[in-house]
Amino acid sequence: MTNDNLSVISLVSIGEHPTSRRPRRAEQDARAIELGIKLVGENLQTLHAGELPDDANQQTALRSYLGMGLAEMNLLEMPAQADAVLVIAEHLKQQNPDVILTGVRAESGESSGMLPYLLAEHLGMAMVTSIADILSVDEANQQAEVLQALPRGQRRKLIVDLPFVASVDMAAAMPRQSAFGPAMRGLLDTAVAGDFADEEASTWQTSNAKKRPKRLKIIKAKTAADRFKAATAKASGGGGKVVHGVEESAQAILDLLVEEGLV
Amino acid sequence: MSSSEFLSQFLFTLITFALLLTLVGAVKRILLWSQGQSSTIHWLGLLQIPRRYLVDLHHVVARDKYMSNTHVATAGGFVLSAILIILLYVFQLKLQILTWTLLGSSLLMFVGSLFVMRRRRNPPPNLSLGKWQRLPKSLMVFSLSFFILTLPATGILPSDTGGWLLAVLLVVGIIWGIGEMFFGMTWGGPMKHAFAGALHLGLHRRQERFGDGQSTGLKAIDLNAKKLGVEKPIDFKWNQLLSFDACVECGRCEKNCPAFAAGQPLNPKKLIQDMVIGMAGGDDAKFAGSPYPGIEVGTHKGGAIIPIVNVLVENETLWSCTTCRACVDACPMMIEHVDAIVDMRRFETMEKGQTPGKGSEILENLSATDNPNGYAPSTRMNWAADQNLTVFGQNVEKQEVTQADVLLWIGDAAFDMRNQRTLRAIIKLLRAAEVNFAVLGDAEFDSGDLARRLGDEATFQRLATSNIRTMNKYQFKTIVTADPHAFHCLKNEYVEFGGHYNVLHHTGFFADLVSQNKLQLDNSKELALTYHDPCYLGRYNGEYDAPRFLLESMGVKIKEMDRSKSTARCCGGGGGAPVTDIPGEQRIPDMRMADVVETNAEIVAVACPQCNLMLEGVVEPRPEVKDIAELMLDALIEGVVENTGEGVVANAVGGEV
Amino acid sequence: MSELFRRDPRAQWIARNRLHPLHQTLVIGPVFGPSGLLRKNLHSIGFIGPNGLKRIDRSGASNDSAQGSRRAAAASEVILPLHQVLEPAFYIVVVLDLVSGRLNGHDKDTLGLAQQLANRNGGAGAVVAIAFGELKDDSLDKAGVDRLIHLDSPHYEQYNPEQRCNDLQVIVDDLKPQHILLPDSINGGGDLGRRLATKLQQRPACGVWKLIDDTVTCRGSAGKSDITRPLSQLMLVMEECSEPISETRHENIVIPQDTSQFTGAKLIDQGNISVDPNAIPLAEAGFILSGGNGINDWPQFHHTASVLGATEGASRVAVDDGNMPRERQVGATGTWVTAQVYIAVGISGAIQHMQGIGQCEKVVAINTDEGCDMVKRADLSAIGDSTEILTRLVELIEQRKQTINGGATND
């Protein structure tokens, strides 16, 4: 694809590893960059709004995006807890990008997934969610063809008017490896941005996620005996059943697939 | 003018001229090397050349007796002859004793060349052909020409024997001989190995290797450098470039390389020759040895300032290496293949971000979770929930300690259900021997071995410095670990970052305990057993005896495999090879298991979690794979366990609170 | 079966004749002795329990004589009580996902939460369900729908979130609902809810999974944290945020509503693209057919996978032997999978492999060795030759497909 005049901006956030909770390159944002590089190569711009840690080691997460081969990244400095939408919207209004790529939702904080929608609204752009790929961009007609990710690996093709905001799904192409050298040498182009405090969120209580109880199959039965039977029948019937013989085996497997709704 | 006078005159001119050309060639060659990056110049090493040549080099050569005798004769004869020729014909020292010595030395060289010739008649596949097939003839012509030339001078034959005909023949022979032996030495002939090899022995990057020393740890690089790792030949250190020129293409590396044997696209000999091509410029069409399996010769070219990977050498070649060091160990010229491969991998990973296979994922996991498979760091000690281990730490309420005799390094086996069995066995044995030990718990990180060998020096240095910082908080006498990779890192590679520890592999530690009778093993069981040497325990750290001592203490007569001790074949699990997973014709662990089967052993004893996984991955039916610690636990004399076991538990709970 | 009660004179005669050998099996209900007292024959009731002791279930539920079961069958079609909201005090709007025109579990849970909100603190709100496009489900009343707004025209069969969002804005303006709930799903609810939030300039609570008094608990940090915050008007709720309605019927009164006027759509749906199951990354695949060392006929394995519509996986050995590409390897050293159903064919189950399938819901093993680890782990194990079993399975599935297709054309 040759889209020399296309202006693509990829928004990146600092991710959080699911088990160690350490800052890292966010998976969806990295995919957004990968998609952006596929579209416009070196002309891809990247933007991050947040705090810039002084310590080089703490910048690692941000710099790991640079390690994907980007020369520089624009950084709008603001307190970590502040609302990034207005800051980014102000900045982007001056840039007039054709395509803005983001992740579907952040890996830390509220992670409501609202940012791309709010940006699209502020900038009057179209919004398309959970894309897996951008197939083509037709600059003459101001349209692009995108693939949207649906559950279970299904895809939907959409035509979307330029300019648009797209949130990139995990189904998009895997991001390239981040290399240490370019990551350390890339430039962080910092500008101090406004501070829009998020007062509402400051009243919320946040704790580590509790494990949600697995829903039991509740049997509405009139008697204790029935409930007991229903509760015990499952365990003795399904678990570890062994069948012999070709016909019985095939039938048992088919029954299980039907029960699970797969055929 | 008689033919003998003419010869004398002519020889003076010829040899002087050849020496001048040789000198010019030498300067050119040195300029080639000097394109490399700066590195310490070990001037004193130059004085050691004769000793290193005669002792260290011949130590390796002598593994092949035929070749070592041949080389002594040929090389000894040549060196002596060359000196005498210069004295006789250039400095015109017409001493009779010199003439007689020259006669002897050229004869010696001639005899040597006959053996070279014989070996070259049916060369084994690891030998290079091409110009190397010419060498025995050149040696013969050189030695024979000077032998005949010297005969009249000694008075055995009258002067002017043979007249002008012989004179012309001698002139032709001497031009050929001198051309090959002097001129060719610095202008890229087979004799280059003598010139570059001698300097390489003197100026070797790892001076510690000589005189029975060891230097196997990878060398750290400055992470703030403008370029990380090696992209082009000139990014190597100058003494690495020199070392490539020392290669004699004997192919011993190739014979020992597990990746080559498995049909993966790596041949250490070709790799070193490709580095020479890269340094001097050109293509690989003239390479006359075995190609990289599956890659045709003559399709790649390079130059000093041309990137190496995918131009001169395919990236798959670099990533096939298991860093088992079999090539380095077998190399008579002491060339460091693994260093070169890791240097190039560093550029691939840290500058290009192109670690193949699952490499990228593994490295990302290591930076986010300090273990290669991305398990939650807080679950590192889950396997030991029932072990009641003493943990190093400051929290007295949790019964943490700040000092113990032994720090038991767990390693990433903590996350692997198979290797947890080994760990449990080790803990039982330690308790049986009443060893006062503690573990780092969740504060322990991956040793960094995998990251470093995948070329991610940055992650390695982070892990190493974090581990050192953690360990420096506590007092212990010894680190004991079941993982030879961690053992090697802790012992040899943390030193550059200020971590100086007394590290023992569990086999070494238990061997001491057994010889001190602190552990008693039942030696009545008869086991059909062989032992597989882990590369990082054996070749990297020279520990071949402790595991064997332990097995013998259990009454086992080890059915040794053909490839054992320093020539043991890798299991295929090192250097990130299972991660990068370069396809070959067969799998390295399958080949190794075939070696095991050949001995008719029913059990293969291992001493490394990685070997354990690789060999257990071979499809059954196959011999059982057991860690030595597991075998020891089976053989531990029960009474001792019961008597001391309770005492130890009491000690662990009560004594260390 | 007919609902008519048919007399069986012979049975009645046996029931009267206490000396008849079959008498005891047919005596049901009260027997009055000569003195008019109710007599119970303790020998004829109850059953022998598992420990050999006689058990009497006084509720009568375990009696299954011919007449009793007929009555039970008639009684089992329980008519649930109707929950009526005559004068709704307020509205709770639920926008249904309706995947292929039917309520799914997520929709039902969302409706369940909506009913909780409508009826808490003695409120008498009505739950208004909004359905776009085709609606095939006739169980809306049982799922807790008090009122229904159904917008149906051909263009709702496509993905047109902007139009839908506009419709919702109009409805919200009309009804002024106390709360608007959408399933926070990839099936449309998540997208539509966020669009509506921007249009309404509301801050939605996303990932809601628990309601306690006036607060909701939401998943934040991509599932790593819980945020407790006040109820908000617009909420995107997770699956199992509430129990679905199961004990009441609801009115399901249709409120007529027209499609709103909307122009300027920036998205045009071009339809779904068929995706090869093998293009789905293993880690995301819901249904995996995985092959190992025990497979002799690989073409047949691939054929089975395509008939089943399953994503292909492999054990390490199958990959090492070159039968499958490396990225198909399942296990601790390959990909960790989370499939709903995982069929392991000819895989004996190395520890690393078992680790990798730890999160699969249902594991089916097809193996010749009944003692292997995979069979121990599996929910269903078929012992026998894998080639034969797979061949038969393919036949059964193709038969099934034909009957379903045939049935569909008959309809």
Q: Which residues pair with A160 in a beta bridge?
A: A144, C267
What is the predicted pLDDT for the residue at B657?
34
Contact A177 B359 (CB under 8 A): yes
Least Cα separation, residue C16 to chain A (angstroms): 31
The pLDDT tens digits for A76-131 are 998 877 888 989 998 999 888 999 999 999 998 889 999 999 999 999 999 999 99
- Are residues A100 and A29 located together in one domain of the fold? yes
| Phi, psi of B72, deg, nearest 5 | -60, -45
Structural Rg of chain C based on CA atoms:
29
Length of chain C in residues, anyone?
Answer: 411
Distance CA B75, CA B60 (A): 16
CB contact at 8 A, A149 and A155: yes
C342, two tokens = 């995982």
B405 Cα distance to chain centroid: 33
CB contact at 8 A, B627 and B422: yes
Torsion on CA atoms C293, C299, C303, C305, rounded to nearest 10: 30
- Are residues A234 and A160 located together in one domain of the fold? no
As for how many domains chain A has, the answer is: 2
Which position has the higher pLDDT, B223 or C5? B223
Residues in contact with B78: Cβ distance below 8 Å, sequence separation at least 6, in sequence order? B105, B109, B139, B142, B143, B181, B194
Residue C88 burial by Cβ neighbours in a 10 Å radius (0-12, 13-18, 19+)? middle
CATH code, domain carrying A51: 3.40.50.620
| Phi, psi of A136, deg, nearest 5 | -160, 155
The pLDDT tens digits for C262-287 are 888 899 999 888 777 787 888 878 88
Least Cα separation, residue A159 to chain C (angstroms): 5
Interface test with B, best of C323, C330, C336, C352 (most B CBs within 10 A): C352
Length of chain B in residues, anyone?
Answer: 657
What is the predicted pLDDT for the residue at B153?
78
Strands B406-409 and B437-438, how do they pair? parallel
| Phi, psi of B529, deg, nearest 5 | -140, 145
CB contact at 8 A, C94 and C148: no
- Any domain includes A212: no
- Are residues A198 and A228 located together in one domain of the fold? no
The pLDDT tens digits for B397-430 are 888 999 999 999 999 999 988 999 999 999 999 9
Average pLDDT of span A225-241: 59
Residue A249 near chain C (CB below 8 Å): yes
- Are residues A169 and A241 located together in one domain of the fold? no
What is the predicted pLDDT for the residue at A198?
81
Contact C362 A260 (CB under 8 A): yes
Residue A11 near chain C (CB below 8 Å): no
What is the predicted pLDDT for the residue at B11?
86
- Any domain includes A96: yes
ω into C230 cis (within 30 of 0): no
Average pLDDT of span B155-166: 77
The pLDDT tens digits for B547-574 are 999 999 999 999 999 999 999 999 999 9
The pLDDT tens digits for A20-42 are 988 899 999 999 999 999 999 98
Q: How confident is the model at residue C231 (pLDDT cuts 50, 70, 90)?
A: very high
- Any domain includes A238: yes
**Closest residue in chain A to residue B357, using alpha carbons only:** A177
Average pLDDT of span A244-261: 87
B579, two tokens = 């991660």
Least Cα separation, residue B330 to chain A (angstroms): 34
Contacts of A105 in chain C (CB under 8 A): 222
What is the predicted pLDDT for the residue at B220?
94
Whether B650 has a pLDDT exceeding 60, the answer reads no
- Are residues A196 and A73 located together in one domain of the fold? yes
Q: How confident is the model at residue A160 (pLDDT cuts 50, 70, 90)?
A: very high
- Are residues A143 and A246 located together in one domain of the fold? no
Q: Which of residues 345-364 of B touch C (CB under 8 A)?
A: 357
Distance CA C282, CA A180 (A): 29
- Are residues A99 and A23 located together in one domain of the fold? yes
Instruction: Count residue pairs from B and C with Cβ separation < 8 A.
Output: 20
Distance CA A178, CA B353 (A): 6
Sign of CA dihedral C97, C102, C105, C108: positive
Interface test with A, best of C380, C387, C405 (most A CBs within 10 A): C380
- Are residues A93 and A18 located together in one domain of the fold? yes
Residue B469 near chain A (CB below 8 Å): no
- Are residues A235 and A125 located together in one domain of the fold? no
Residue B244 burial by Cβ neighbours in a 10 Å radius (0-12, 13-18, 19+)? buried
Distance CA A74, CA B647 (A): 64
Contact C396 A206 (CB under 8 A): no
Whether C364 has a pLDDT exceeding 80, the answer reads yes
Average pLDDT of span B279-303: 92
Q: Which residues pair with C344 in a beta bridge?
A: C290, C365
Containing structural domain, residue A244: 224-259
CB contact at 8 A, B407 and B480: yes
Strands C311-314 and C341-345, how do they pair? unpaired
**Cα three-residue angle B369-B372-B377, rounded to 5 degrees:** 30
Whether B542 has a pLDDT exceeding 90, the answer reads yes
**Closest residue in chain B to residue C293, using alpha carbons only:** B619
Q: How confident is the model at residue C29 (pLDDT cuts 50, 70, 90)?
A: low
Contact A249 C286 (CB under 8 A): no
**Cα three-residue angle B185-B190-B195, rounded to 5 degrees:** 35
pLDDT averaged over every residue in chain A: 87
- Any domain includes A208: no
Whether B88 has a pLDDT exceeding 90, the answer reads no
Whether B637 has a pLDDT exceeding 90, the answer reads no
- Are residues A69 and A160 located together in one domain of the fold? yes
Residue B226 burial by Cβ neighbours in a 10 Å radius (0-12, 13-18, 19+)? exposed
- Are residues A40 and A116 located together in one domain of the fold? yes
CB contact at 8 A, C314 and C329: yes
- Are residues A181 and A121 located together in one domain of the fold? yes
What is the predicted pLDDT for the residue at A71?
92
Residues in contact with B323: Cβ distance below 8 Å, sequence separation at least 6, in sequence order? B338, B341, B342, B453, B535, B574, B575
Q: How confident is the model at residue C400 (pLDDT cuts 50, 70, 90)?
A: confident
- Any domain includes A121: yes
Contacts of C280 in chain A (CB under 8 A): 152-153
- Any domain includes A209: no
Distance CA B480, CA B499 (A): 15
Whether B652 has a pLDDT exceeding 70, the answer reads no
CA separation, residue B395 to residues B381, B383, B390 (Å): 16, 21, 12
Interface test with C, best of A253, A259, A260 (most C CBs within 10 A): A253
Residue B578 near chain C (CB below 8 Å): yes
Q: Which domains does chain C have, with CATH numbers?
A: 9-76 (no CATH), 82-254 (3.40.50.620), 278-401 (3.40.50.1220)
A98, two tokens = 């054709």
C305 Cα distance to chain centroid: 24
Contacts of B465 in chain A (CB under 8 A): none
- Any domain includes A210: no
Least Cα separation, residue A163 to chain C (angstroms): 10
